Structure 1
Amino acid sequence: MRVKTGINGLDELIEGGFPEKSTILVSGTPGTGKTLFCLQYIHKGLELGESGIYITLEEKPEELRREAKRFSWDLKKYEDLKKLVILDASARVGLPQTEKYFVEDLDIENLLNKIYDICLEIKAKRLVLDSLPPLFEKEESIRSKIHKIGRILNEISCTSLVVSETLDENRFSRFGIEEFIARGLIMLNLEEIESRLRMRECRRSIFIRKMRETKHKVRRYPFYIGENGINIDVKGELL
């Protein structure tokens, strides 16, 4: 079974969508469109009647709602219908909390238990974890935490996107081990190029590094952000 991504052009490149119940790592440097990619994926599921959970560890839920509204995606409507939960894991102890779903600290066991309970509560089909780096304050515990995350994602049987922000566009992930819990790896890039008028401009591109159970080209494709979100130029293969 395939899960439609909602990303314009992507399904065409991966045989109709993500493999069902798989975990996909979405990586890239800051500003490449990772959060938008995830919002677009979650919203597509909501349109198809599939419940979803979005775990945010950096941006506040209200910021996500505002970002989605730029593309006419009304997340609040689905929250009110109990089809979507935005779990606020960006909160810090002692700060006021206005969200219904939140965790006060980044204890990995507490967070994963909360995710598990919410997925059962709303019968979630899609999950986004955005993003991994805030969970890993102590580098010596990274491997153990990543394996715990992988186990819980396998148990809940959602089709999941996990975000990892990289500091170097040549790396697949921040810590070099996140990709081992994922059946797919999608890299988003932002690079400066020289235009015809010899002016510097930026170009975004997407690279499907791996996707299990899927025939796909190992090529980069340019994409742009329009009124309806991310649009991939599937005929514009880059070297």
Structure 2
Amino acid sequence: MKKMVKKNKHKSKIKRLKNKRIQSSPNFGSSLLKGIGLGSWFGNNHVEHKVTVRSIKKPENKKIKKVAGKKIKKPAEKISVKPKIKKLEFKRDKIKKEKIARKEKIKEKKLKKKEEIRRKREEKRKLMEKKKAERIFKIKKLVEQRNARKLEEIRKVKFRKEQEKKMLENKRKEVMKKLAEERAKKEKLEKERKIAEQARAFNEKKKEIAAKKEAKKPFCKEEFLKLGINGFDNLIEKGIPCGTANLVEGGPGSGKTIFCLNIAIDACRRGKKVLYMSFEEPEHRLRNHMRNFGWHPEEYEKKNLLYIKRFNALDIARSVEALLSEAKKELLIEVQPVLIPTDFKPDIVLIDSLSSIASAFSGEENRFRIYMEQLFRYLEGNNITSFLIRETANPTHVGNTFVERGEAVSFLSDGIIVIYNVFYPNGRRDRALEIVKMRGTDIARKIVKAEIRPGKGFIVHSNNVITGSYRLT
């Protein structure tokens, strides 16, 4: 009975294995194949196998005996599994070999990887050592260079200190030498001073005599004078004769003062000494006018070529009585009509203006005429070229009639330069210039355009004659 049960168990297990995948596991041998003795073979191997079991022929259908209404089963036939077990053992061995080969390959790969890592570490270590050595070499080189620089600096400092000591010693010797020379000079000067004191009185008298002789000499050594104003000299053949008195007249705002300041600065550039006598504007304002055109009056004042001074017209009016007494030979001393500084001998004198001087003689035209005669005589006697500004409301030399208000300045002057304000019908206003007369030279008799240009000063367009309809003032 026990044998039958075992056979039935084997038969049912074989049927379950038919066309199914069998996974080897730790419990496979003890549970599934315990009856056929395969548990010890699989062991703990986790490998999938597909086992195909041949179908077992069923016995022919025969009549089944019934015992007391129950079916009686026939005993199961004995199945042989030995060939299959051999086949499975062969596969097991093959799997083991493959597993061992795989393990060996994995080990070999790991060894290669470790060897590669070790080799790379070794290369990296060598590279780091090389870099470290190079860095140490560079540091040593930098340290050597720094030490060399320090030594060079120390050497230079020592050399500099030695040079400074030598220079100080030389300077001390030079100072001592100079002191000795100064002492000797002082002693010598003291001796010379005593000698000079004895001859000073004689030298002063000699200088006074020489100054009087020099005062009588003419200041202007040339025959004709070029003013240097752009375009003006083209209107005069030779130039203005030296020692002449020239009248510069025009209306308010015509540019008379700028014209005369331009004459002064151009004369200073040629080395002439110029005295500008102002009776209206103060000195600082005249200097500002010059600076506005880019001229530098201080430069020529330092060179003693330019002298700008403001005078009081009343002081001149008070001196008329002395001039009259001198004219009548009542005074034995010589009286000058112009207050020229004694330490400045000008070549050119500019008086701004005669109108201010005339206002000091209001109601005394005869006295003013006498003063002007004395002034022109003084300027002519000292050969001084002069320019006298006179302001006129309307031009006195234009038209069919000539009117002068008892001043006789036009007859006394050697030259007359007129600056006009030109008014056009369209409202435009310009400047124009004309030389009315000039004794001793030929002049161009025409009224030409003029302008005052910033940075250049007074400009005369000698070839541009004013035409058309206009009015002069």
TM-score relative to the length of structure 1 = 0.84
Note closer, same or farther for the CA distance 1:70–1:211 as it changes in structure 2 (3 Å cut): same
Taking the aligned partners of 1:37 and 1:156, their CA distance within structure 2 comes to 24
1:166 corresponds to: 392
**How do 1:225-236 residues align onto structure 2 when only pairs under 5 Å count?**
225-226=452-453, 227-236=455-464
Query: For residues 23-61 of structure 1, what are the alpha-carbon distances to aligned partners after superposition, in whole Å with 9 as ceiling and x for unaligned?
Result: 110001111110111101011110001111000011111
Q: What's the CA shift for 1:170?
A: 3.5
More strand by share: 1
Matched, 1:40 2:40: no
Instruction: Determine if contact 2:229/2:459 at 8 Å carries over to the other structure.
Output: yes
Q: How many residues align?
A: 221
2:420 corresponds to: 189
Taking the aligned partners of 1:148 and 1:20, their CA distance within structure 2 comes to 19
Matched, 1:215 2:426: no
Note closer, same or farther for the CA distance 1:207–1:142 as it changes in structure 2 (3 Å cut): same
Instruction: Determine if contact 1:166/1:174 at 8 Å carries over to the other structure.
Output: no
SS of the aligned residue for 1:164 comes to strand
SS of the aligned residue for 1:121 comes to coil
More helix by share: 2
Structure 1 unaligned residues grouped into runs of 5+: 93-103
Q: What's the CA shift for 1:155?
A: 2.1
Instruction: Determine if contact 2:277/2:308 at 8 Å carries over to the other structure.
Output: yes
Q: Which structure would you say has the larger Rg?
A: 2
Note closer, same or farther for the CA distance 1:7–1:148 as it changes in structure 2 (3 Å cut): same
1:96 corresponds to: none
Note closer, same or farther for the CA distance 1:106–1:6 as it changes in structure 2 (3 Å cut): farther
Q: What's the CA shift for 1:146?
A: 1.1
- Alpha-carbon RMSD: 2.2
Query: For residues 125-151 of structure 1, what are the alpha-carbon distances to aligned partners after superposition, in whole Å with 9 as ceiling and x for unaligned?
Result: 111011112222333322111111111
Q: What's the CA shift for 1:91?
A: 8.3
Matched, 1:4 2:234: no
**Paired letter, 2:263:** Y
Note closer, same or farther for the CA distance 1:50–1:89 as it changes in structure 2 (3 Å cut): same
Q: What's the CA shift for 1:111?
A: 7.2
Give the counterpart of 1:107 among 306, 311, 318: 318
Matched, 1:128 2:343: no
Q: What's the CA shift for 1:90?
A: 4.6
Percent same amino acid among aligned pairs? 28
Instruction: Determine if contact 2:416/2:437 at 8 Å carries over to the other structure.
Output: yes
Instruction: Determine if contact 1:10/1:17 at 8 Å carries over to the other structure.
Output: no
**Paired letter, 1:54:** Y
TM-score relative to the length of structure 2 = 0.44
Structure 2 unaligned residues grouped into runs of 5+: 1-222, 321-334, 468-473
Instruction: Determine if contact 1:65/1:75 at 8 Å carries over to the other structure.
Output: yes
Note closer, same or farther for the CA distance 1:106–1:152 as it changes in structure 2 (3 Å cut): same
Higher relative contact order (CA 8 A, sep 6+): 1
- Structure 1: 4+ residue segments shifted above 6 A: none
Q: What's the CA shift for 1:106?
A: 4.8
Note closer, same or farther for the CA distance 1:174–1:64 as it changes in structure 2 (3 Å cut): farther
